[in-house]
Amino acid sequence: MSLFAHGATAPSPVGPFPPWEAHPATVHFPIAFLVGAVALDLYAWWKGRANLARIATGLMAAGVVTGVAAVATGLLAFFTVPAHTPEAHRLMYWHLGLMAGAVTVFAGVAVARRRDEPPIAWVRVAGLLGVAVLLVGAYLGGNIVYRGGAGVDPAILAPEVRGGHGHDQQPGTPRPEKDDPHKGH
């Protein structure tokens, strides 16, 4: 079976690797590093293992560096991603703000952890708050793609999503026949 089965079109007009596809390739690393760092740090604190707390600090630094890359590719995706629903477009602002905020919180926590060995209580609490913000932002990112169609080939999307940002059409309104790639199949 072809990768482009069910009437979907082959590679996008911007080439085989559209710019918005860099973002989903980078988002998993910071989430894994940062959540893992906080979990390991809590375990280290519970068991009194300073060596594990230092490893958690290293994981957090890796999460911040990869988080900066994810935010940068997210900005690229924000300005280049094609068709998606108006709701997805609105959620993009929240997603961007939450994820940039989470990376900023973790950057501060990582710097504070380097100064305080072992980390003091407020640093651990800030890490937990950072994880909460990170997970809410990640949830919104999934919603933007899976419910809003952002970055998905327009030919396989529902008609109400195909119209770009949706500014020219309300969801559920039929599209003109000339825009329907499935007409006549």
pLDDT the model gives residue 161: 65
50-80 and 86-115 helices cross at what angle (nearest 10)? 150
User: Which tens digits make up the pLDDT trace of 36-47?
Assistant: 999 999 999 999
Residue 7 belongs to a domain = no
- Beta carbons of 81 and 20 less than 8 angstroms apart: yes
pLDDT value at 10 more than 70 = no
Structural domain count of the chain: 1
Q: What is the mean pLDDT of residues 99-113?
A: 95
At 1, list the tokens: 């079976």
Handedness of CA 77, 79, 82, 84 (dihedral sign): positive
- The boundaries of the domain holding residue 98 are 19-152
Q: What is the CA radius of gyration of the chain?
A: 21
Position 142 confidence tier, pLDDT thresholds 50, 70, 90: very high
Average pLDDT over residues 2-17: 49
8 falls within a domain: no
pTM, two decimal places = 0.74
Helices (H), the chain: 22-26, 28-47, 50-80, 86-115, 121-146
The label of the residue with tokens 């793609």 reads 145
User: At how many degrees (to 10) do helices 28-47 and 50-80 cross?
Assistant: 160
For the chain, percent of residues with pLDDT exceeding 90: 55
132 lies in some domain: yes
